Structure 1
Amino acid sequence: MNSLLRSLKILVLRVGASISERFLGGNRSKPDASKPIIVEWYLAHPGGRGQRLFIFLPGRRDRASDFVRHGFITMTQSRIQSLDCVAVDATIGYYLDASVATRLQAEIIEPARRLGYREIWLVGVSMGGLGALFHEREYPGEANGLILLAPFLGNDLKLFAEIDAAGGAIPWARGQPAAVAAPKKGDFQRELWRFLGRMQTDQQSQLQIWLAYGDADRLVPGIERLKAILPAERVLKLKGGHTWEVWTSGFEEILAKIDWPADTPI
């Protein structure tokens, strides 16, 4: 179990029902490690596969099917030629047992590469955005891009003040140890921001990160500190809160901004 995910589990157990119900609520059942993670595939061309794949990760109270219900699959495939989609039922249980990154890599991304996908993007809403970042931390370079829609990045205001006092996440991270072998209770957010502060300097040339969120989102304190270290042209701030309406609009705008080269089925 890696230290970042382990410390998330410690944090959730420590604060108990308060954060579990308010933020990490929904389906909290422990996943069965003996069974594959549930996924829903949507191929652009029946009988063939494209060269590009989008992997959708849901929020805390959402399921894979919600991406269909809110039009994400249709929107994506109508704009990007020969793009396949897979929506993943990565519920809170995969976060609590610290398996979300390894399950994504072993059960979806590695098989997708073997099938011939040359470009793989992770699209995460809320908790799913956190999952996309967890994967990038554990498997840097495996994803070609991240689209983060109102990602949960912590809520420790004292930590945010510390980051601000250092001049932002990048200079703050330079003054922190690279990793904590045995994180203490509550270290989840600090360890997350150590990674975020180093991520853009280490991987800026390889990884595209796009961010969209609402100006009234309750997660704004963390999101705007991530915004500060991303290229301004890859950040969208919309009117609204922590809702699918905002995420749908933001996702549509991001798709329109990216220059997608022509593609052919495999």
Structure 2
Amino acid sequence: MRLRTELFAGPARRDTLLVLLPPALASIDDFYSQGFVDALRQRKVPVDLLLADTSGQHVLDKTVVEHLHRQVVQPAWDCGYRAIWLAGISLGAFSALHYAAHHADLLAGLYLLSPYPGTGDVLDEIRTAGGAGPWSQLQPAGIEARTDERAWWHWLAQQSAQGTWPTAVYFGTGTNDRFQRGQALISDLLPPERVCRLPGMHQWATWKTLWEDWLDHGPIRSPPR
């Protein structure tokens, strides 16, 4: 996994680390070319940024949790960061959710940009049950150990049922996103004030607008002067 760290306050490390995970068929280089890094730098958001080149192969191999833990999150804790956020686009958001299902206690929160909601068979299970909440009640004990998306759907549904959200989850997507039916099953589980829908499709232009909106109004924004 290729990594790159950006420190926005000189050599001094911040208390918070924001980890960005790319969509499928993209890389961390796209976060530069699409203006994501510049948007964070211009706003002087009080975080350090780490770009992690997770890929579809990590998901297919079912190693994404292991790689994120061993190469990203645990080393960040060892370096002294006090809060770690995962922000992912599409398949990157899928990977962030999967990591949270196994290690939520190590995360301050997630930002899901146009998340890929998973395969059709799992989504059909959830719809047939009447939503992720009822679906999660039908699942056997130990489902959180599963290696497919059922693990994170169960985790997300349980967090929603408890209503306390020790690991905060924020969600943003375009109103014409091609995965919006499955995404609606995710957003229905979240507090409404943490859900953002803006005009756009499943593409970089929409993701950039959602990213800027979250930087301006979300939990890691710079304090007012």
Aligned CA distance change for structure 1 residues 50 and 192 (closer, same or farther; 3 Å): closer
Instruction: Find the residue that maps to 1:140 and give its secondary structure.
Output: helix
Task: Give the Å deviation of 1:257.
Answer: 1.8
* Residues 145 and 151, structure 2, Cα contact 8 Å, conserved in 1: no
Q: Distance in 1 between matches of 2:207 and 2:144?
A: 35
Q: Distance in 2 between matches of 1:193 and 1:222?
A: 11
Q: Which segments of 5 or more consecutive residues in structure 2 lack a partner in the other structure?
A: none
Residues 58 and 241 (structure 1 numbering): CA distance in 2 closer, same or farther, change over 3 Å? same
Q: Give the Å deviation of 1:203.
A: 7.5
Provide Cα deviations, 1:85-116, integer angstroms capped at 9, x if missing partner.
01111122212222111111111111111222
The Cα shift of 1:247 comes to 0.8
Answering whether residue 139 of structure 2 is matched by residue 176 of structure 1, we say: yes
How far apart, in 2, do the equivalents of 1:182 and 1:234 lie? 27
Say whether residues 1:84 and 2:44 are aligned partners: no
Q: Letter of the aligned partner of 2:36 in structure 1?
A: F
Instruction: Please give the alpha-carbon distance, in whole angstroms, between the structure 1 residues aligned to 2:63 and 2:106.
Output: 17
Cα deviation, residue 44, structure 1: 0.9
**CA separation of 1:239/1:179 partners in 2, compared to 1, >3 Å: closer, same or farther?**
same
Farther-moved stretch of structure 1 (235-244 vs 79-88): 79-88
Question: What aligned pairs does 1:1-266 form with structure 2 within 5 A after superposition?
Answer: 37-156=1-120, 159-160=122-123, 162-179=125-142, 188-201=148-161, 204-260=164-220
CA distance in 2, matches of 1:182, 1:47: 39
Give the secondary structure class of the aligned counterpart of 1:146. Answer: strand
* Structure with greater Cα Rg: 1
The DSSP-based 3-state class of the residue aligned with 2:106 is coil
Amino acid at match of 2:131: G
Which residues of structure 1 form unaligned runs of 5+?
A: 1-36
Q: Shift in Å at residue 81 of structure 1? A: 3.9
Residues 104 and 135 in structure 1, CA contact (< 8 A), matched pair in contact too: yes
Q: Rate the CA distance shift 1:80–1:172 in 2: closer, same or farther, 3 A.
A: farther
Runs (4+) off by over 6 Å: none
Distance 2:205 2:54 in 1: 21
Amino acid at match of 2:192: A
**Distance (Å, rounded) in 1 between the aligned partners of 2:138 and 2:152:** 14
One-letter amino acid matched to 2:113: L
Bigger mean CA deviation after superposition, 254-263 or 220-229? 254-263
How many residues align? The count is 223
TM-score, normalisation: structure 1: 0.75
State the identity as a percent. 30
Secondary structure of 1:139's counterpart equals helix
Aligned partner letter, 1:169:
A
Once residues 209 and 57 of structure 1 are traced to their aligned partners in structure 2, the CA distance between those partners, rounded to angstroms, is 15
